[in-house]
Amino acid sequence: MIYLDNSATTKPNEEVMKSFHTAATHYFGNPSSLHGLGMEAERLLRKAREQIAELLQINPDEVVFTSGGTEGNNLAIKGIALQHQHRGRHIIASSVEHPSVIESLEALKQLGFHITYIPVDENGRVNPNDVKKEITDDTILVSVMHVNNEIGTIQPIEEIGALLHNYPKIFFHVDAVQSIGKVPISIRKANIDLCTISGHKIHGLKGTGILYVKKGIRLFSLAHGGGQEANIRSGTENVPGIVALAKALRITLAKENDTKRIEQLKIYIMDELKKIHYVKINTPETSSAPHIVHFSLPGFKPEVVIHALEEAKIYISTKSACSSKKSDISSVLEACGKSQAIASSGLRVSMSFNTTKEEIDGFLHTLNIVINKLAKVMR
């Protein structure tokens, strides 16, 4: 099997699974309980929070545990909007955000909030000056992802953060789901107020995630109850999953030096794809993440290509897994000004630190065979 859909989800690390099993087996108490089992679970939870804070170079009380990227983005955006609407009801976001951001913003529209989507260039990149132009006295939030989940573009979040430093009323949210461990990010340096991370994108478990909330920022809770997670996200904590998340984050960040090897594989893939007549590459050659290569095959149905590769046990995807079953047209490629033929025929290859050149060669060889067979049918 050749698995090249790591931006959708990653295979859990064996050490992560061991951590989960140990915590689930021996520390199964409710961390809110007053008895010994509960206190053991609470200590384990606190230790995991401290470890994650140290790894991200933030404070432990700035870590809010969530079920993943979608919940984190919803909590950050709706939490800010509902809590601070007396200060303003205008929100700015890029036009290439993840569906969990776009749909959260569209939901807020129904509550009377005004949303401005910033355009991007042909590479899917936001111009910080365009953000500045849209700021008004009513603006309370700017949300821009760090790495685009579809084509891999790296956004200038440090520049945007520096810009927003001059607007103390405006909060800055960054979706870092695709960048953690692959593209360096300093939450403090980038002046980020809220930052979303997902466990299953870094060889952790599905249903685990982190929302960084800068100390002093208040959010309107979307889950009221027992007051866990500093009254921001009530509900019994998933201690085994959180312990596994801490382990996954530690392992992933320790491998950041290996990104050069993945970057070389990305360059190799793009160079080889350029040799294939039908291929149009969408991932920018510069200022893009090391693990994502997105390309289009105009005239070919992407699902047909995917299933043909699957027959050879090679797994890639079309676009965001959260939107792959919706319209065939990629909203990201549309925002980049791509034609309908390109926007409707996109395919994404996404690697992990475990991906080998042999696997990439196997993918490229099979893709060539698949394209040639399908081209004959098209004729």
Active site amino acids: 322
Residue with tokens 């893009």: 288
CA distance 251 to 50: 16
CA–CA distance, 305 with 28 (Å, rounded to integer): 45
Rg of the chain, C-alpha, whole Å: 21
What sign has the CA pseudo-torsion 232, 237, 241, 243?
positive
Length of the chain: 379
State how far the Cα of 169 lies from the Cα of 84, in Å rounded to an integer: 10
Nearest to 139 by CA among 127, 131, 150: 131
Measuring CA to CA, how many Å separate 330 from each of 12, 49, 179? 29, 37, 21
> For residue 280, which phi and psi values (nearest 5 degrees)?
-125, 115
* Amino acid symbol at 134: E
216 phi/psi in degrees, rounded to 5:
100, -15
Q: Give the containing element (helix H, strand E) for 303.
A: helix 302-310
- For residue 176, the one-letter residue type is A
Distance in angstroms (rounded) separating the CA atoms of residues 32 and 34? 7
- Beta-strand ranges (E) seen in 181-286 are 194-198, 209-213, 280-281
H/E stretch holding 294: strand 292-296
